[in-house]
Structure 1
Amino acid sequence: MLAKHVLAIVLIGGFLALGWWQVSRASAGNTLSWAYAFEWPVFAGFVGFLWYREIREALGFPAVRRAANGPEASAGTEASSASATSEPVPTPVLPPVLGTRAPKIGSGFRRPVLVPRQPVAAPAPAGPDPELDEYNDYLAWLNANPGAKASAYPGRRRGPG
Structure 2
Amino acid sequence: MSESSAGPGTLGAMKRLWTPAWIARHVAMVVLVTAFLALGWWQVSRAAAGNAISWGYAVEWPIFAGFVVFVWWREVRHALRGAEAGPSAAVGEAPDAGDPTVVERAEAVEAAGVRPRPGIGRPVRVTRTVGGHGEEDAELAAYNRYLSWLNANPGAKPGDYPG
Aligned match of 2:108: none
Q: Deviations over 1:106-151 (max 9, x none)?
A: 2387624695776746436354555544444444333333334555
Structure 2 CA distance for aligned equivalents of residues 130 and 23 of structure 1? 68
RMSD over aligned CA atoms reads 3.4
Structure 1 CA distance for aligned equivalents of residues 30 and 91 of structure 2? 30
Aligned match of 1:23: 44
* AA of the residue aligned to 2:49: A
Q: Are 2:150 and 2:156, in contact at CA under 8 Å, matched by a contact in 1? A: yes
Q: Deviations over 1:92-115 (max 9, x none)?
A: xxxxxxxxxxx6x82387624695
Are 1:107 and 2:113 an aligned pair? no
Aligned partner (choices 129, 133, 137) of residue 123 of structure 1: 129
Aligned match of 2:53: 32
For residues 148 and 22 of structure 1, do their structure 2 counterparts lie closer, same or farther at Cα, with a shift above 3 Å needed?
closer
For residues 41 and 111 of structure 1, do their structure 2 counterparts lie closer, same or farther at Cα, with a shift above 3 Å needed?
same
Aligned residues: 112
Q: Which has the larger radius of gyration?
A: 1
For residues 110 and 143 of structure 1, do their structure 2 counterparts lie closer, same or farther at Cα, with a shift above 3 Å needed?
same
Question: Residues 3-152 of structure 1: matches in 2 within 5 Å?
Answer: 3-58=24-79, 60=80, 62=81, 106-107=84-85, 111-112=91-92, 115=121, 120=126, 122-123=128-129, 125-126=131-132, 127=135, 129-150=137-158, 152=160
Can you give the 5+ residue segments of structure 1 that lack an aligned partner in the other structure? 63-102, 156-161
Can you give the 5+ residue segments of structure 2 that lack an aligned partner in the other structure? 1-21, 95-119
Shift of 1:5: 1.4
Structure 2 CA distance for aligned equivalents of residues 10 and 153 of structure 1? 67
Higher strand residue share: 1
Higher relative contact order structure (alpha carbons within 8 Å, sequence separation ≥ 6): 2
